[in-house]
Amino acid sequence: MVQNISDMFHAQSVAVVGASANPDKMGHTILHNIIAGGYRGMIFPVNPRGGDILGYPSYPSIVDIPHPVDLVVIVVPAPFVPDIIEQAGRINVKGIIIITGGFREIGNDALDAEVMNLARGYGIPVVGPNCQGVNYTPNKLCASWPLITAKGPIAVISQSGTIGAAISMWAEKDEIGISAFVSLGNRSDVSEIDLMYFFAEDEETRCIALNIEGVSDGKRFIDCIRKIADVKPIIVLKPGRSPEGQRAAESHTKAIGGDDAVFDALCRQFNLIRAYDLDEFYDLCKLAAFISSPMGNNLAVITSSGGSGILAVDAAVENGLKIPKLSDESISKLKEILPSQCVISNPLDLTGDALADRYSDALEVLRSDCTFDTFLVIFGDPIPDTAEVFLELMEKSEKKFIVSYLGGGDVEESEKNALHRISIPVFPTPERAVKAISAIQKYYERKDEKKDEV
């Protein structure tokens, strides 16, 4: 149980026990990433050999550091860990991250218990052991790998280091960023539940990406999601859905996933947003990061590519969204302003020679069509200056604009990030956009229903 994990995230100083000048060592990677991540607190490499490491003077042990130490990151082999916890307790650190493996995950339950008992005795929260560390971008504290510096609205809590890293890297590459990446490892102390409570209050976090293979404590988990699932969207990827997958999960993290149908029912009851594969996990996080108020289920599709528009319509129908007709007023206004080859319906096909200005013109009309408050805008060619389409619209309108950009090559790559910078989410295919819209729309719909029940 955790007293105050907030102090750990906001640590003003950090010691890396097992820091190394050898780039092949984990103790190098962690120290390097803390420095390269731009951490502005004090940094203390700890290594009995002494000398400078990556330009910072090292100390033989944490008790030798002549300043207060808030956070201790441990990278030394498992048998040395209890001593370091003892020392950490004596100098009143506020948090410990144990990267080192060799505990419960390989059957060494006794060592795991010894370490946790010590830490609990001192009241120090511990992340890990056997984990990939903690990255909290608001404090520029990347005590983790990979090195991710892009600050953004998604807090990633992950039992799988790779899945958490993949989501974080995608979010960085897309210029969306993360508020945090916490690798749970054995989660012998700090659990997904403690972290969800923290991120629910964290102002830098708009949505929580949760990857777990089983819940750490069923009753506390339900209490937690009952309280916070409607505060911030929680997107959950819980593999081990099949019995075969469940068995694999048990050998991976000793997680008891339980009956998947029960977990699924829990998600529906308490409004967790469940993703069923890794792409969907990221897509839902992306949309939840940008959309933070209810959206309707009437979708208007505007496209330069008729074929892509049809993909969107099929996906919408299959995911419970509606594609209503345009109002007569919209139709007559659009007929006035659009070239004759455009197909004026929903989807609205602006045709292949459409540039950004044609989208602006069309959206300027459609934003007044009260049938719609959600717009899927498909750019199906290398169309430049797409961010300008939305900047003015967003000032004048509360409508939701979601983009799918495809067939645009290098232009697509830069436009996608330009759109993300102005908080317009971009998906690589129309179907992925639609699936995400459907899931987030349902989240807000259920949230509203629950409010009404109260």
Q: How near is the Cβ of 25 to a second copy at its closest, in Å?
A: 11
Q: How near is the Cβ of 323 to a second copy at its closest, in Å?
A: 5
Q: How near is the Cβ of 339 to a second copy at its closest, in Å?
A: 10
Residues 6+ apart with CB under 8 A from 327: 369, 370, 371
Among 76, 240, 372, 377, binds a second copy (CB under 8 A): 240
Among 188, 429, 438, 441, binds a second copy (CB under 8 A): 429
61-100 residues in contact with a second copy (CB under 8 A) are: none
177 contributes a contact to a second copy by CB under 8 A: no
From 31-39, 47-55, 272-280, 395-403, give the range in contact with a second copy by CB under 8 A: 272-280
25 contributes a contact to a second copy by CB under 8 A: no
239 contributes a contact to a second copy by CB under 8 A: yes
345 contributes a contact to a second copy by CB under 8 A: yes
431 contributes a contact to a second copy by CB under 8 A: yes
Q: Which is nearer to a second copy, 140 or 252 (CB)?
A: 252
From 46-54, 215-223, 224-232, 428-436, give the range in contact with a second copy by CB under 8 A: 428-436
166 contributes a contact to a second copy by CB under 8 A: yes
Q: Which is nearer to a second copy, 123 or 324 (CB)?
A: 324
279 contributes a contact to a second copy by CB under 8 A: yes
Among 29, 159, 186, 386, binds a second copy (CB under 8 A): 159
Question: Would you state the structure tokens that stand for residue 404, as one six-digit string?
Answer: 């799918």
105 contributes a contact to a second copy by CB under 8 A: yes
What's the longest Cα–Cα distance across the chain?
79
142 contributes a contact to a second copy by CB under 8 A: no
188-227 residues in contact with a second copy (CB under 8 A) are: 211, 213
Binding residues for a second copy, rule: CB under 8 A, are: 101-102, 105-106, 132, 146, 158-163, 165-166, 169, 211, 213, 239-245, 248-249, 251-253, 277-279, 304-311, 313-318, 323, 340-341, 343, 345, 347, 349, 352, 380-382, 406-407, 409, 428-432
